[in-house]
């Protein structure tokens, strides 16, 4: 089974107690499929709001495997950016890095940000959430 890469928006939904999200995440953890990225950790830290929901978020993320950036992933992200820029479909650098990590590891991205990520050819998105 493919790895499922957790994006920050779904992690934040978990912290906020959005119905159904935690159950999906726990199921993926039990299947040993859920991972996150160094970029997602950066995004979460950048938007930090200390409190109970922050603690809940950190409890989830701190126990997860983390995909790190490498030169091949950076090259892939650059290629994606170049192609999207030429089409006038730019997306944020963080999203490009997350997409490149997902593609590099042949995973599925667990996100609600379909507006940006659906622009990336070959990127597999994890079902509806």
CATH number at residue 78: 3.40.50.1010
Report residue 29 CA to chain centroid gap: 15
- Mean pLDDT, residues 34-62 taken together: 86
Residue 87 has pLDDT above 70, yes or no: yes
Q: What is the pLDDT of residues 71-84, one digit of tens each?
A: 999 999 999 999 99
Instruction: Give the start-end residues of each E strand in 31-110.
Output: 34-37, 66-67, 108-110
Helical pair 8-16 and 52-62, crossing angle rounded to 10 deg = 130
Radius of gyration of the chain (CA): 14
> Residue 115: which domain range?
4-125
State how many domains the chain has: 1
CB 110 within 8 Å of CB 10 = yes
More confident residue, 69 or 16: 69
- 86: Cα separation from own chain's centroid: 24
Angle at 70 between CA 115 and CA 11, to 5 degrees: 40
Inter-CA distances, 113 with 32, 70, 75, 98, 128, Å: 24, 24, 23, 12, 11
pLDDT tens digits, one per residue of 10-45: 999 998 889 999 999 999 999 999 999 999 999 998
φ and ψ at residue 86, rounded to 5 degrees: -65, -30
């Amino acid at each position: 089974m493919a790895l499922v890469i957790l994006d920050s928006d779904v992690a934040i939904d978990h912290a906020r107690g959005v119905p159904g999200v935690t159950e999906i995440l726990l199921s993926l953890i039990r299947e040993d499929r859920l991972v996150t990225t160094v970029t997602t950790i950066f995004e979460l830290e950048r938007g930090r709001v200390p409190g109970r929901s922050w603690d809940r978020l950190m409890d989830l993320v701190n126990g997860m495997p983390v995909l790190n950036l490498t030169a091949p992933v950076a090259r892939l992200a650059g290629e994606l950016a170049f192609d999207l820029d030429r089409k006038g479909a730019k997306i944020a650098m963080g999203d490009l890095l997350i997409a490149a990590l997902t593609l590099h590891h042949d995973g599925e991205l667990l996100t609600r940000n379909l507006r940006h990520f659906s622009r990336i050819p070959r990127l597999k998105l994890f079902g509806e959430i």
